[in-house]
Amino acid sequence: MTATTMQPAAQDAVPEAAAPAASRSRRVLRAAGYGVAGLVVAFHAANVLWKMSGSGKWELEFERDGVQVYSLKAPGAENKQFKAVTRAGYTLNQLVGGLIENATPQNCRDNIPGCLGMQVVVPWSAKTMSDTVLWRLGLPGPFAPREMILRSQVVQDPRTRAVTVNILAAPNALPRNPGTVRVTHLQNRWVYKPVGYGKVEIEFLQDIDIGGMFPTILLNLGGAEQTWQFIHDQLPKLLNTDKLRTIRYDFIKEAA
């Protein structure tokens, strides 16, 4: 009986041109894998370098229409802090009233971009000079809405009449709500200093991390402009009402 060599079935046969093509595909995929890995390493290295950077000092970003905007990058922090300074013809009572009287759903709807709702957690108390309010803010998709529970504390220097309003996140004041991200880091501050001639120097500092997967770089790139817009565009709208122009509190003394 003559020995015969078995031939591969037709469906198992590999065309001669297919082998080089498969080899090229493997090389492309391998190179792509190396490229992705390289990008991940480069991104991580850039993030580490960014986090380590910073002078820890306030630096002027720009000055526009009487508003100076500064930023501060502290070593070890990912987020920049922003500060705006300006002067305007408001009374101290008017400025404090902007905090106390505007914790309302109407103000949320009319004056706070992206505001979805608010809830007074602890009403304003002249005894403690504080209140606590929850604000719900929408973000562009695919990011979840944010909840900020803010405790505001007002202090006035009896000698200079300067007023300081410290605003801190109080994330555990209420249980978490499903489908939202609770902001856990916020340390904002307002300082109102009488400078004479019916003027007050206003200083507004923002130190916030909105949490979740929202890119930090967007906050860092847009923070200076957003801070300017709030002071230049939104604050006058909040304060220039008949009620606030004439409001007076027993616990806030105007400068002589």
Supply 196's token pair.
């004479």
* Among the four given CATH numbers 3.30.70.100, 3.30.420.40, 3.40.50.2000, 3.30.530.20, the one describing domain 54-246: 3.30.530.20
Token couple for 141: 């998709």
186-211, pLDDT tens digit by residue? 999 999 999 999 999 999 999 999 99
| 51 pLDDT more than 60 | no
Provide the residue ranges of all domains of the chain, joining segments of one domain with +.
Answer: 17-51, 54-246
CB 207 within 8 A of CB 187: yes
**101-125 per-position pLDDT tens digit:** 999 999 998 888 899 999 999 999 9
The reported pLDDT for the residue numbered 55 is 77
Report the predicted TM-score, pTM, of the whole model to 2 decimal places.
0.80
The per-residue DSSP string of 128-175 comes to TTEEEEEEEE--STTSPPEEEEEEEEEEE-TTT--EEEEEEE-TTSS-
Q: Count the neighbouring beta carbons within 10 Å of the beta carbon of residue 196.
A: 7
Is the pLDDT at 176 greater than 90, yes or no?
yes
CB atoms closer than 10 angstroms to residue 74: 16
98: pLDDT strictly greater than 70: yes
Q: How far apart are CA 28 and CA 41, in angstroms?
A: 20
State yes or no: pLDDT of 12 exceeds 90: no
- Please tell me which residue, 128 or 51, carries the higher pLDDT value: 128
Q: What is the pLDDT of residue 253?
A: 96
Which phi and psi (to 5°) does residue 217 adopt? -60, -30
Q: Is 111 left (phi over 0), alpha (psi -120 to 50) or beta?
A: alpha
Give the residue-averaged pLDDT of 44-70. Answer: 79
Residue 226 has pLDDT above 70, yes or no: yes
Q: Which residues fall within 8 angstroms of residue 214, CB to CB, at 6 or more apart? A: 139, 143
Q: How confident is the model at residue 44 (pLDDT cuts 50, 70, 90)?
A: very low
Structure tokens at 104: 């309302």
CA distance 111 to 102: 10
Residue with more model confidence, 31 or 128: 128
How far lies 1's CA from each of 4, 116, 208, in Å? 9, 89, 88
